Structure 1
Amino acid sequence: MEDTGTKNVVLVDETDQVLGTMEKMQAHQEGRLHRAFSVIIFNDKNEMLIHQRAKNKYHCGGMWTNACCSHPRFNEDSKDAAVRRMQEEMGFTTDLDYVGQFIYRTEFDNGLIENELDHLFIGKFNGTPIPNPEEVEDFKYIGINELKLDIEKAPHNYTVWFKKIVENYLTELITNG
């Protein structure tokens, strides 16, 4: 989850209390817990907007994930960061509602460790995104059943955090969407 506006991430404890900041790559090399956010977008047909990460991303390049994900800046509210990054990554803004948070940790083949306290937001959008090619390779709206089937058939095509969101929060997301 990348934030092109800063090279630092906000280090937190398991209760989301700020411990300080650290250079982003160092935090991912050391596996330090840091604050992040993920945005889930549905259209009026209850299809989810997902995007394929640009192939040059520092991890998970070319994998499919939720509409937007990144790190807030120091002293930036996670919701404000999510709105800002939706515009920067996908070229649109929409109202977002907070759904909850979760912690996940995973190690990548390139030696980086993702250890994030992820704030989850949901919104509605029916238009066509105008994605930033430095962030997004491709995008599509997909029905929930089709998405779940594809994740079952090809889990390696999807990011770890997105699979956790679909597995643990999908019912709540559909209800709140």
Structure 2
Amino acid sequence: MKAQVILVNELDQETGLMEKMEAHEKGLLHRAFSVFIMNDQGDMLLQQRALDKYHSGGLWTNACCSHPLPGEAVEAAAHRRLSEEMGFDCPLRELFQFTYRTEFDNGLIEHEYDHVWTGTYNGAIQPDPGEVQAYHYLPVNEIFRLLAEVPEQFTSWFRLAFPRVIDQLRV
């Protein structure tokens, strides 16, 4: 069975289900989440998406992101994918939600109602090579510098969410 996403309206109310690739081809708004992980030194975990991902392959982004399965709570999905993609889990808390739309060169469209989660983790990382090309922790100031100098090396949703995540964590 092909993966499905949960279609939503602008209030994140479920309106139906659709096969994931079809939703990305049509650019329909669907529920998603992004997980941002910090370590005790205040550095952020970045992953470089695997080169053969259906979009944004090779770009740097937050620890993980995906879509909840039909009937799955967003928090449960965030824990599931963090474990599947990065090989660890940790306590998470939701920071905010936002909606974005990005068109890619391959014709796909990300139109997501994104729930943004954060957590702290200092242990071993065992990423799935089918999902993650590389990873490392970077100081927040270094990420701001890279975003200013080479924004094209980062995913669209990371560029949008990162400054707000940092603002929320500093409160």
**TM bracket (short chain):** over 0.9
Residue 69 of structure 1: CA displacement? 0.3
Partner residue in 2 for 1:153: 149
- Listed as ranges, the matches of 1:98-117 within 5 Å are 98-117=94-113
Counterparts of 1:128 and 1:140, CA distance in 2: 12
Aligned with 2:24: secondary structure?
helix
Counterparts of 1:75 and 1:20, CA distance in 2: 11
Cα pair 1:103 1:117 within 8 Å, conserved: yes
Partner residue in 2 for 1:30: 26
Counterparts of 1:174 and 1:57, CA distance in 2: 33
Residue 60 of structure 1: CA displacement? 0.1
CA RMSD in angstroms comes to: 1.1
Number of residues of Structure 1 aligned to a counterpart in Structure 2: 171
Residue 168 of structure 1: CA displacement? 2.8
Alignment pair present for 1:131 and 2:165: no
Residue 20 of structure 1: CA displacement? 0.7
Per the normalisation by structure 2, the TM-score is 0.97
Alignment pair present for 1:64 and 2:60: yes
Residue 166 of structure 1: CA displacement? 1.4
Identity %: 50
Counterparts of 2:155 and 2:147, CA distance in 1: 10
Residue 6 of structure 1: CA displacement? 5.7
Q: Which runs of 5+ in 1 are unaligned?
A: none
User: Which portions of structure 1, spanning 4 or more consecutive aligned residues, are displaced by more than 2 angstroms?
Assistant: none
2:70 to 61, 68, 74: 74
Alignment pair present for 1:140 and 2:136: yes
Alignment pair present for 1:85 and 2:81: yes
Partner residue in 2 for 1:94: 90
Counterparts of 2:31 and 2:109, CA distance in 1: 14
1:163 to 135, 138, 159: 159
Counterparts of 1:58 and 1:128, CA distance in 2: 27
Q: Which amino acid aligns with 1:89?
A: E
Counterparts of 1:165 and 1:32, CA distance in 2: 20
Alignment pair present for 1:44 and 2:40: yes
Aligned with 1:121: secondary structure?
strand
